[in-house]
A and B are shown apart, each in its own frame.
Chain A
Amino acid sequence: MLKAVIDGIEMELKEKMSILDAAKKAKINIPTLCYEEGLSIYGGCRLCVVEIEGEELFKPACATDIQAGMEIKTHSKKVRNLRKNLFELIIATHNIDCQLNCLTCSRANNCELKNIAEDIGVSKMRLDPIKRGEGIDNSSYSIIREPEKCISCNRCIRKCEEVQGIGIFTTANRGPETVVTTFKNRGMGNVECTNCGQCILSCPTGALHELYQKDIVLDILSDQTKHVVVQTAPAVRVAISEPFSNQAGDISTGQLVTALKRLGFDAVFDTNFTADLTIMEEGTELIERINSGGKLPLFTSCSPGWIKFIEHFYPEYLDNLSSAKSPQQMFGALAKTYYAEEAGIDPEDIVVVSVMPCTAKKFEAKRDEMAGDVDYVLTTRELASMIKSAGIDFLNLEDSEYDELLGVSSGAADIFGTTGGVMEAALRTATELITGQELENIDFDIVRGLEGIKKAEVEIGELKLKAAVAHGLGNARRVMEMIKEGEEFDFVEFMACPGGCMGGGGQPISCADNVLEKRQQAIYKIDKEKKLRKSHENPYIKKLYDNYLEKPGSEKAHRLLHTKYKARKI
C-alpha cells in the first residue's frame, strides 16, 4: 500500500495501480480516448494527462503508475486548458464538414468524441479541418472503413490483434501521413479479416461501421409485390432495447416482434427455430461421428467469423467442422422452400431478411455455397435505427408473438446467444437421445460463464464426452493450438466474438458497465422461464421432420441444411 494525493484527496492505494484507476477510486473521471479496458496501454491521445507536483512535463494517467507521495492534479486550470487545446487538434484531423457531419455519421448517437467534448467543456474550435483525401474502403461485404474519420487511436489495431489474435490493421507511414490501414492498403475485403466486427465496437468514431442494408430493406418493405419475412437471432432480443433505454440486460422479445410487424414485415420468424434445428442436425452428426469413428473433434459451425478464421488459419481442420449450416442460413433455405410451400407463396417473391448481432453474417449470406438463402442481413444496431426512423416508441410497445411455423423455439435455442450455449443445447439433446432417459438437471453450469476457454467432461451413459468451449478468436486459436499439440476433445464450440453472439460486432455500442454479464443473465433467464427447453421436444421441429425433411441427416436435410467450406490463403 502507498499514500498519494489526488486533487487534494488523500488516498491509500495498492502498488502498481495507474493514476487513471486511482482517480476512479477517488470518483474522479479523467477523459480518455486511446485507452480501452482489456487492451494494452497505448498512450497516444494524451487526453488523460495530469499534472504531478514537482514534474515539469505532464504524464498520461493511463500509462503512469502511481508512486508513493505523488501529488496529482487531474483537473487543474493548466490541465483543463491543455485538454481543450488537444481536443481542437484532434478534431482538426477528423474531417468534419457539411458533407461529412455529425448528423449522418454512424456514431451520431454515441460518438466518443462528442462525449469527450462535453466532458472537457470544449467551447471553441480555432482550427480548420484538414482533409486527407482518403477514399472509403468498401471492399468488404461486412465492414466499411471511412479513414477520414479515423483519428489513429489504434484501438481497432489492438482489439483485432490482442483480443482476436488476427492483426488486420496496422499503422502505416509517419508524420502527418500516419494512417491506420490494412496490409498493403488492400482493403478489408481482401485480407484475412473474419468480419467479426469487434473492431467496430472499439472504434470511438464513425471510422468503422457495418455495410448498411437498412435503407434497401426499408425500400423493399414498401414494395407490395414482395413477401418479406424476417428472422431474429437469439442475442438480438437481449440488446435491442439498449439504444432506447441506455441500460443493459432487458429482455424485449415481444416488443421486438411488434416493432418488426409495425415496420411492415409480412412474417416475423425466429432464428431460434433453426437453432433448435441445428441441434438436431449437428447433434445427429456428432453421434454419427462418434459411433462410426468419424473425424473428431467435431467443431460447431454457426459462427461465420469463426468459419472464415478456420478457413484462413487452420484449413487442415476443415473436415472437423460440422457440415450443418448456421441457423441463419438454415432459416433462409427453409423460408424459400418449406414455408413457401406451406403458405402457398412463390419462392421468387419471398425476400428473407435477418436481424443479427453479427457483422460476419452479412458475409455469410453472400457465400457462394449458400447464395440466395438469405437476401439481406441487418445488425441489431441497424434495426434500432430503423425503429427510430419509423417513429416507433419501442420501450412502450405491447408484446406480440412470433408467427408460428418457423417461430416457436426452445430455451436451448435462446442460449445459442451466449458462449457455451450451443454446447449446452447440444448436451441436453444428445444426452436424452443417446440414453433415452430424461435429464434430471438440464443446466450444464460447467460450460457457462465468461471464462475464455471452458473445458468439460460430460458423462452420457457409457460415453465420456470431452467438450471445450472457446469464445473470442484469440481463444479459438489457443484451443486450436491445444488440439494441434495433441489434446483430445470430442466436441468443441467456437464463437468468434468475446461472450459469443451477445457480444457480437453488430450489437449496440453500449455505455453501460458489464454489458456482457447483463446480456448473459438475460439470456439464461429467458431459457429458465420457458417450458420448452430442449430442441428435440420442439413440436414444430418434429412437424418439420414429419412433414418435410423426414429425419435429421436425411438426404433432403443435407441438400437444404448442410454446406461446404473452403481453404483460404493467408
Chain B
Amino acid sequence: MVSEKLYLKGDKLLNILDYDFKSIKNALRMGRKETIQKIKDSELKGRGGAAFPTGLKWQLASEVEGEEKFLVCNADEGEPGTFKDRYLLEERPLKVLEGIMLAAFAIGADKAYIYIRGEYTRAIEVFTEIIAAARKNKILDSKIFDSNFKLEIKLVRGAGAYVCGDETSLLNSIEGKRGRSRIKPPYPIQEGLFSQPTVVNNVESLCCAAEVLNPDSEEFANLGIEGSRGTKLLCLSGDLNKPGLYEVEFGKITLQEIIYDLAGGIKAGENLKFVIPGGISTALITAKDLDFPYSYQAFEKRGSSLGSGAVIAVSKKHDLLDLMLNVSRFYMDETCGTCFPCREGNRQINKILKEFKNSGQKIDAELISDIGNTIRLAARCGLGQSSLNFISSVIENYGQELKIGGKIYA
C-alpha cells in the first residue's frame, strides 16, 4: 500500500505562539551563504511550474547589486485544477511566512510581497492576520529574533487574471500596471519589482525551503531521487473516488498508484481515458502509460511536465472536443493581449474548433499546425508558449477518433 509523506501538510496551525520558527532561526545562525548552500544541496526546484532550481535563483539574486531587493511570494495559483497554495495559506500560513522570511534573508531583501489570488478571500484573511500577529510579536520589521535581519511584508490581492501568475506580469500588477508579461531579459533577478533585483517564488517552493532548513526534518532534502527531491503536493481532481490534496515523495510512487491507490481509483462505472498531469498547460498522459514513478524527469521524457501538481483524471465519458473547446476558451480569454501570435492564434484555434464542433467543418490540418507552431515558437511569454500543449496532445493521441487530421506541433 502506498502512503503519503507528510511534511508540508499537517494539522491546521494558525496561532503564532504555537510555532517555533526553527528554520529561520537556524538560517539566521548559519548566515546567508550557508543557507543558500543548503537549498542548493537539497536540489529543490520551483513548484510554480517552471521548475527552476531555487538555490541557484537565490544565489544569483544574492550576488546582484541593487539599491534594495525584493522577495515576492507568488500565491496567484491560477492554473486550473490547482489548490495546494490555497491549502498552505489557509492551514499552514506560518510555514509560508517562514519560507518568505528565509528567502528574503538569503537574498538580502528587507521587503517582501505576497500576491494572493483575489478569489482566495479566506486565505487573504488568514494571511493578513498572520502578518499582523507576526508584527505584534516582533517577528517582523526589525531585529528579527535578535538579529540584524529586518523584513516588511505587504499583501497584494490579485485581480483575477491568469497571466498575472507569470512572474513578470505579477510584478507589473504589483506596480499597478497592466497585467502583461515583460520582455526577458532582463530577468526579475536583475531588474524586477520597481526595477530592483527580485526573487519570485511559489508558495509551495518557499514551504519546501522552510522544510529543508528545519533541523527537525533533516531527511527532507534526501527524500526522492536524483533530480527530484523532497515531496510534492498533488491536487487530485476529475473523475476520482477520493479527489483532494495529497503529499507524496518524489520517485517513490507511480502515477498509476496515485490514481488508483491514493485517490481510490476512477468513479464507479467509468473508465480512465487519460490524466492531465500538471494543470491544463501540460500535455496529457494516456491511461495505458501511467506506470512510472512520479518525478520531473519522467514527465519530461514523455513530452509533458508535472507543472503545478494539478493532476486531473479524465474518464471516457467526456466529449474530447468539449474538453478542447473548454481549454481553448480559457487561453483565448486569458491572453494578456500583448503579442499577436498568442492573442490572435488562440482566437483562431478556438474558432476552428468551434466550427468543427458545430458544423463538422473539416479541420485544415496544415492551417491548425501553422497556427499552433506560430504560437509556440513566437509567443512572448509562457502563457502563449504552452497554451496549446494540452490540445495538441489530444489531437496527437486521439486525432483518428476525432477525425482531426494532422498535428498541432509539427
Residues of A at under 8 Å CB distance from B? 41-47, 49, 56-58, 60, 63, 65, 78, 81-82, 85-86, 89-90, 92-93, 126-127, 130, 151-152, 170-171, 173-178
Contacts and interface: CB of A to CB of B under 8 A. Distances in A.
A85 B338 contact: no
A177 B347 CA distance: 10
Contact of B348 (A43, A89, A170): A89
A91 to B, nearest CB: 9
Contacts of B337: 152, 171, 173-178
B334 A127 contact: no
A89 B333 contact: no
Interface in B373-389: 373-374, 376-380, 385
B378 A46 contact: yes
B347 to A, nearest CB: 5
A115 to B, nearest CB: 17
Contacts of A82: 373-374, 377-378
Contacts of A93: 344, 347
A175 B384 CA distance: 11
Given A41-B183, A46-B339, A81-B370, A86 B333 contact: no
Contacts of A81: 370
B378 A49 contact: yes
Contacts of A86: 340-341, 374, 378
Nearest to B374: A85
Contacts of B334: 174-175
- The residue in A44, A47, A58 that gathers the most chain B C-beta atoms within 10 A of its C-beta is A44
A46 B348 contact: no
A336 B194 CA distance: 58
- The residue in B335, B336, B345, B378 that gathers the most chain A C-beta atoms within 10 A of its C-beta is B378
B367 interface: yes
B163 interface: yes
A49 B378 CA distance: 7
A277 to B, nearest CB: 48
A44 B380 contact: yes
Nearest to A178: B337
A89 B380 contact: no
Main secondary structure of the interface of A (DSSP, over half): loop
Contacts of B179: 174
B313 interface: no
Q: Which 8 A-B pairs have the closest CB atoms?
A: A178-B337, A89-B344, A175-B333, A46-B378, A85-B374, A85-B370, A176-B347, A58-B377
B218 interface: no
A45 B385 CA distance: 15
Contacts of A63: 183
Given A44-B338, A82-B373, A92-B348, A176 B378 contact: no
Contacts of B376: 57
B371 A85 contact: yes
Contacts of A127: 348, 367
Contacts of B378: 46, 49, 57-58, 60, 82, 86
- The residue in A45, A63, A89 that gathers the most chain B C-beta atoms within 10 A of its C-beta is A89
A130 B336 CA distance: 19
B377 A89 contact: no
A93 B338 CA distance: 14
Contacts of B332: 175-176
A78 B410 CA distance: 11
Given A82-B378, A89-B345, A45 B370 contact: no
A92 B340 CA distance: 11
B161 interface: yes
B146 interface: no
Given A44-B340, A130-B347, A173-B337, A49 B377 contact: yes
B364 interface: yes
17 contacts: A43-B380, A44-B338, A44-B339, A46-B340, A49-B377, A49-B378, A57-B377, A60-B378, A65-B185, A82-B373, A82-B377, A85-B374, A86-B378, A89-B345, A152-B337, A176-B346, A176-B347
B178 interface: yes
Nearest to B385: A57
Contacts of A42: 338
B45 interface: no
B407 interface: no
Contacts of A176: 332-333, 335, 337, 343, 346-347
Nearest to B334: A175
A46 B335 contact: no
B277 to A, nearest CB: 21
B183 A89 contact: no
Contacts of A56: 377
Contacts of B335: 174-176, 178
Interface in B148-194: 161, 163, 178-180, 183, 185
Interface in B359-402: 364, 367, 370-371, 373-374, 376-380, 385
A490 B288 CA distance: 84
- The residue in A45, A90, A152, A174 that gathers the most chain B C-beta atoms within 10 A of its C-beta is A174
Interface in B340-359: 340-341, 343-348, 351
A171 B335 CA distance: 13
Contacts of A44: 338-340, 380
Contacts of A85: 370-371, 373-374
A178 B379 contact: no
Nearest to A130: B347
A360 to B, nearest CB: 29
Given A130-B347, A174-B161, A174-B163, A89 B374 contact: yes
B209 to A, nearest CB: 29
A175 B347 CA distance: 8
Given A93-B344, A170-B178, A174-B179, 16 more contacts: A44-B340, A46-B340, A46-B378, A49-B378, A57-B378, A60-B183, A63-B183, A89-B340, A89-B371, A130-B347, A171-B180, A175-B333, A175-B346, A176-B346, A178-B337, A178-B338
Contacts of B178: 170-171
Nearest to A93: B344
Contacts of A130: 347, 351
